[in-house]
Structure formats: C-alpha cells, structure tokens
Structure 1
Amino acid sequence: MRIFFLFLLITYYSFVNGQYYYSDLMGLQQTQKNFEILRKNKIKEISGTGTAAEGAVKIQTLTEVPTDGKRIVKSISENNRTKELVYQYFEMGRLKKTIVHNPGVETTIEYQYNGKGLLSYLASTVKDSSSGSSITETHHWEYNNNGFPKKMIKKTMGMDSLSVEFLTDSIGLVLEEGWFKKDKKIETFYYYYLPENRLSDIVKFNTKAQKLLPDFVFEYDQKGQLTKMIQVGNNGRNITYWDYSYFSNGLRETEIARDRNKNLIISTQYQFEKH
C-alpha cells in the first residue's frame, strides 16, 4: 500500500524524489489552494475510508481543521493502527511548517518566502528515533525579475549539492528542468501544457526505451479540477492510474487507484463536516 501513502503526502513532502518544480512549487500551490477551500467552506473535519482490492486492508484518513485557521491535523490509519500523523501550520494563508510522525521517524519541513510571497527556502529534517540520527535537506529557490523560477540549489548533508535550472516561457510556465552536479547535466524533465495552461505531461528520457516517455500525465474537468493522473515509476515498469471526483464545493469525494493492468489497488471515499 506504499503508493497510496505516497500520493496522499505528495503535497507535504517537497523533498519527494522527482521533479522539483512539480513537487516544491506546484505541490505547495495546491496545498495552499486546498487550505483556502477548507477555510472558505468552514470545514471542520474530513474523513476518508479506503479499501484495498483484496478487501483485507482498510485505510482511514481523518483531517481536522481547527477554527483558528492556523493548523491542519491529518491522521492515516491502516487496519485501525495509526501509520502517519501530519501537522500543517499556516501563517497568513501560507504553509510555514509541516511535521510528519511515522513509527520511529519524525520529519519536519519548514518554508520561507520572499517579499513577493514566493517560496525562497525549504528545509526538511528527518530524525530516526531508534538511532538518534538525523539528516537535513535544503532547497534554495531563485527567481528572475518577473518572478519566474530560475534556479534551485539542493543541499544534503554529506552529499554534493544539486543545481536545478529552469527554462520558462513568456508567462512563466516552466518548460524544462535541468539537473546539474559538478557542472554536468545529469537529468532533464520537460513540462507540457494544455491550451488553458494546465499541466498535461511531465516527460523525461527513458533509458530502457531509449526515448522520451512521461512520468506523469494529467487530465482535468471544465472547472480545472484534476480528474485523472497516470503515474509512471521504476523507469517505466510501474504504472498507476488515478481517478478523482469532487463535491460541488471543490473538496475531493473519491479517488481510485489501478495498476498497469487496470486492476484495482485501492478505492477511497471522503466525507466532510462543517463547523
């Protein structure tokens, strides 16, 4: 069930291995948009129940939104055992800190913004309670005079830094994301968009197939809500198909994941309660 948890947390874990424009900036943007929807609709609680294809594993999520509008608490349980506890702290509508508790591991992510409200610095620290060890990763974001992403420097304890450079169009959409180590390019991602400027594909060169193939494919409804996503992993060997539906207020109602053969992985139904 790991893939289920990974998707739930993509907007929390800005250090997820993958495209940094998508995980850092777009993920943060979606997190803050979701927060605005919760506040606008005066949501008190969101509960979700997911059942795996074999029916043996039951996943439950519970999201609590206090009336002060400064914190969200999310718990994820598997067969009535808590697997994940997430705290998100907001300030002036912006995500400032995320704390994720897993059995034996605590992850803290802190965010800083520049004068234009753009993410300028992100630091994630993972602590292992059994060994007492910890590791910190930082992302330093730079923008051009128009506020478009220009560069990001990733630093991790004990490792060479990674420089990520971006090519944008005239309205600020990222078209290319290049990774450099020691001035050598090691990876390139290409971003494609629909006429409405919504992200449609994230593509990179597949070494096995020896051609460009997508890592992600997205589809939307007329409201711009994500309705389908194809997620490709393990150099093209793993494919997951996601389908989503929404309540009229914009909150997610269902999400369904299927494997490369279109067999069900998990189906989740959400409900919400207002203050």
Structure 2
Amino acid sequence: MSHTLPTPRGALTPNRPLADLTWLRVGGPADWLFQPADEADLADFLAALDPAVPVFPMGVGSNLIVRDGGIRGVVIRVGRGFNTIEIAGETVIAGAAALDAHVARKAAEAGRDLTFLRTIPGGIGGAVRMNAGCYGSYVADHLVSVRVVARDGSIHDLPADALNLAYRHADLPEGWVVTRATFRAASGEPAELAAKMDDQLARRDASQPTRDRSAGSTFRNPAGFSSTGRADDSHELKAWSLIDAAGLRGHRLGGAQMSEKHPNFLLNAEGATAAELESLGELVRDRVRESSGHELQWEVIRVGEP
C-alpha cells in the first residue's frame, strides 16, 4: 500500500499473515494489522486514516475464512484493552474482545442468565454483528446498546433497535468497529445456571466436532426464523439435514472436509487452503440446490483476495 498510515499507540504490523489468528488456520497476509491499545487509540487512528483505505474489523477469527491472497487495507483486531466484563444489577457490559463463554460464566457467577452465550464460539463483537444465538435465545433478546467507533473515528452509543437485528445479521456500516455491548440479563441461581451451561456443553460436544478445526456452523438454516432472528421451533428444516440428504456427510476436497459428526461443519482436516475450504462449501451449495432446490447461504464470513 502506498498510503502513509497514522502512528498509533497500539501495534501496527505490515504484511501480517492472518492464518494463525483464525480458527480454521488459513489465509494470506493483511497489508496492515492494527491492534489498538484502547478505544481512544482506535478512534484517533481511524480519524487520521485516509478514508480511501479499506478497514476490516476482525474478532477472534472463529467464524471466518481469510482467502489465501490475504486482505487489502487495514485489519483491526481489538484485544486486551477491550475484554472487560462488568456486572451491575441486571446489566452486563462486555468488551468486544471478551469471549462469549467467559461472559456467560462471569454473568452466571453473579446470578445473571446469559447462558445462551456459553457454547457460542467467538467474542462479543462478533456475536453482536451476527446476532448470535443458541438454544432458542439470541443476542437480540438481551442487547440494550452497543458502543462503536465509526470509520471516521467518531464514537457512538447505539440502542439495540438501531441495529435492526435479524437472523445472523446486524446493520453496521462497513469499517465500523464494535468496542463494547450492554446486555440485560434475568436473574438466576448461580448453581442452576452453571448446571444449565454444563448441560449445554454436553449436548454440544455430543453433536458437534468440537475437537476438530472448524469455524462453527458453515451455512445458515434455510428457513424457520422470524425477522427478529428468533427460532420457529416448529420448522424442521436444518442445513445439516439438507447436506446429509445430498450425500455429503464426511465429503472431502483436498485437506477440507464436511464433518462426519455434523455435516454442517466445514473442517480443516489436513492442511487445507482457504481455496479448498471455500470450494468445498460451494460444491455443497451446488449439490444441495440440485438435490432439494434449497439455496444454502454461507454463515461463515469469507474475506480477502483469492
């Protein structure tokens, strides 16, 4: 990149490979990786950054395929300055880098029920962007507000309604970075909440390939969700069953594989490239379209250059 970048207090690294920052362990380099020291550092940097330079906020890389050619522009990854968890009454305020599982556990210890977050891979920033959900409960059910730094460096506190949360979706402009989220959580007995989370973990481990290298669910469930992102449990159609019916459970392409245990999990089984993972996903979409007429939509985010 020919642009001159501002000098922040946090770490700014040129040509930084991203594979080790994603759960699938694939992907080429970012032109620049910026790890801001804190919210003010992030705001100052974005305010001074040429508006022509693209910005991609990256969470903990749990739901992401970075293509082999890497990402042009600046990848922003919030870390230590953004992982606080504060609990006051029924309010839980979590930094964007706080892991969903940690937030669920901390809240439960304080007698607050955000147990649905316990089995969701990733951090709070990503959970907000994707309106993450599990066991019939979604971010939309609990979110009060989010704090964001806009692409121009301005800082905004947005009510949850402003995000138009829908199934696996939030309205956030390109280049805006979530820095923290405020949730409202019902009360519960810490021991009961802990037991509930243990049960959720056992159910997840029994049905999902949690020990394999995956990015969580690969495709969205095709239907059966209302506009708020809440599940309609009467609707049986699931992405995994369509993939299974198309004969693709365990199907391999190079080092990429659809899980034998849960066919909607795309695995880096053996040194896969991003291209192999994405190509296998597209093959699955083609076969499911042919066999059932349904159009699977990616849930895993794919970014960067081939």
- Using the size of structure 2 for normalisation, the TM-score is 0.26
Greater percentage in strand: 1
**Relative to total residues, which structure has the larger helix share, 1 or 2?**
2
Structure 1 length normalisation: TM-score?
0.28
Larger RCO: 1 or 2 (CA < 8 Å, sep 6+): 2
